[in-house]
Amino acid sequence: MMAASPFDAAIYRELLQDDEVAALFSDIAELRALIRVEVALAKVQGELGLIPLDSASAIERDITESKIDPASLAAATGRDGVPVPALIAALRATMESPEHAQYLHWGATSQDIMDTGLMLRLREMCDLVDQRLKLLLQALADNADTHAELPMAGRTRAQIATPTSFGAVIAAWGTPLLIHLEALAQLEPRLLRVSLAGASGNATALGDKAGAVRSALAAELELGDSPICWHSDRAALSEFASLLTRVSGSLAKMAEDIILATRSEVAELGLMRSGGSSTMPQKNNPVVAETLVSLFRLNTAMDGLMTQALLHHQQRDGVAWALEWHALPQICMATAKSLALALDLAGELQPEAAAMETHISSGNGLIYAEAISFKLAETMSRPAAQAVVKELCVQALEQGCSLSQLVAQSYPEIDWTAIATPATQLGDAALQARTFAARVRQLGDQCRS
């Protein structure tokens, strides 16, 4: 089987494919959506008297369940650049009654059918993203609660910085997902609209009933109406692609942090669903997390294409439109799979408290340098305290002893109890973890419209 994309390769099916999205972006699904739009169009045109009611019924009866072989459309699609003319011809040919068949696709243009058919599928995609985001948030919220006070070394610029908690780290992973959920709800009404604007966008062939037919079609398909033609306005599609890319970006950030935490030298997280090597028996590779990061990088490239597609020439642009065909399904697949993989990861997070403790204590206790400098600043100026501590850090490293020991020797008059211990150095880490969890729970109590 040919596979320009590994998403479509049998070998990589379990690694990369998402079954639900695969069902939305198959040849069959594409044709089914186009047919559904044509049937709905005929139905509302029959009801509004644009075409005979009998013809509308015949169209619904004859083509709703049509099984057109996608490959049979390939030659004409190769010539026309779009599959709709060939599909219309094939559907008409399958109808028993040419007198009714002629009313199929009445007054519409190819792009109307393809864009509206796409919307039917993107509606399912929106639901899927919404649901998976919520499931993932729930799993992260549980973890944030559980580990709200588990001490862990914070890392900034690849260096151990000051203590924090694993729960706060999880809250930082999950909070952007709450934002994405909000943005998705705001975007949907902009995105999920009907298109019925005819050849050059002014619905001429639908006469003075153009608006009524379009509104009725929107209602029939449960999509938004669109009084102004959006054939050449692809902003909502680009916005959707960017949102999905940001979703996968937030997941990739979580995944990258997990990769760093599962490195052999760190080992603060247990390896989940890990992969084997063809030659090294001991290897446990972070395959799931790696896949999340690479799917995000893929999305950034595809999102760029969707952005380029905004530059849609005049009333219809064969170049810009085709970019969406390449980019959008890959973004949907990558994002949905990323959400599924992230949910797997979230369900298997195994923090190693001992390793976390080790990294806090290691490094000669320099992790407490900031805290010590603030304590010291109670008796001298803050810049002086920082300079003193900086010097003591150097000594600690050279002498191989702990910073807190050195500082206690130098400033025995100060009570150093309760400084060099995570217990007092977590700040509002636990509060952040619980705030995040509470927000997610609030969300769980709401219904999706």
Q: Binders of its own copies: how many residues, by CB under 8 A?
A: 198
**189 vs 73: CA distance, rounded Å:** 33
Quick note: the x/- pattern for its own copies over 100-119, rule CB under 8 A, is: -xxx-xxxxxx--x------
SS (H, E, C) 36-87: HHHHHHHHHHHHCCCCCHHHHHHHHHHHCCCCCCHHHHHHHHHHHCCCHHHH
Token pair belonging to 62: 């004859």
Our finding on whether 250 is near its own copies (CB under 8 A) is yes
Give the shortest CB-42-to-its own copies separation in angstroms. 12
Which of these segments, 23-31, 57-65, 120-128, 409-417, binds its own copies (CB under 8 A)?
23-31
Our finding on whether 270 is near its own copies (CB under 8 A) is no
Our finding on whether 350 is near its own copies (CB under 8 A) is no
**197 vs 41: CA distance, rounded Å:** 12
Give the shortest CB-248-to-its own copies separation in angstroms. 9
Question: Do 169 and 257 meet the contact criterion of CB atoms below 8 Å apart?
Answer: yes
403, 406, 419, 440: which one binds its own copies (CB under 8 A): 403
Sign of CA dihedral 439, 244, 131, 349: negative
67, 279, 412, 447: which one binds its own copies (CB under 8 A): 279
Total Cβ atoms within 10 A of residue 4:
8
Our finding on whether 88 is near its own copies (CB under 8 A) is yes
149-178 residues near its own copies, rule: CB under 8 A: 153-165, 168-169, 171-172, 175-176
Question: Do 107 and 205 meet the contact criterion of CB atoms below 8 Å apart?
Answer: yes
Our finding on whether 278 is near its own copies (CB under 8 A) is yes
End-to-end CA distance of the chain: 41
Return the ∠ at Cα 247 (arms to 253 and 306), rounded to 5°: 115
26-85 residues near its own copies, rule: CB under 8 A: 26-28, 30-31, 69-71, 73-75, 77-85
**222 vs 230: CA distance, rounded Å:** 18
Compute CA 308 distance to the chain's CA centroid, rounded to the nearest angstrom.
20
Our finding on whether 277 is near its own copies (CB under 8 A) is yes
304-333 residues near its own copies, rule: CB under 8 A: 304-305, 307-308, 310-320, 322-323, 325-327, 329-330, 333
183-242 residues near its own copies, rule: CB under 8 A: 183, 186-187, 190, 198-207, 210-211, 227-233, 235-236, 238-239, 242
Give the shortest CB-98-to-its own copies separation in angstroms. 6
Question: Do 349 and 112 meet the contact criterion of CB atoms below 8 Å apart?
Answer: no
Our finding on whether 294 is near its own copies (CB under 8 A) is yes
Question: Do 106 and 59 meet the contact criterion of CB atoms below 8 Å apart?
Answer: no
Our finding on whether 431 is near its own copies (CB under 8 A) is yes
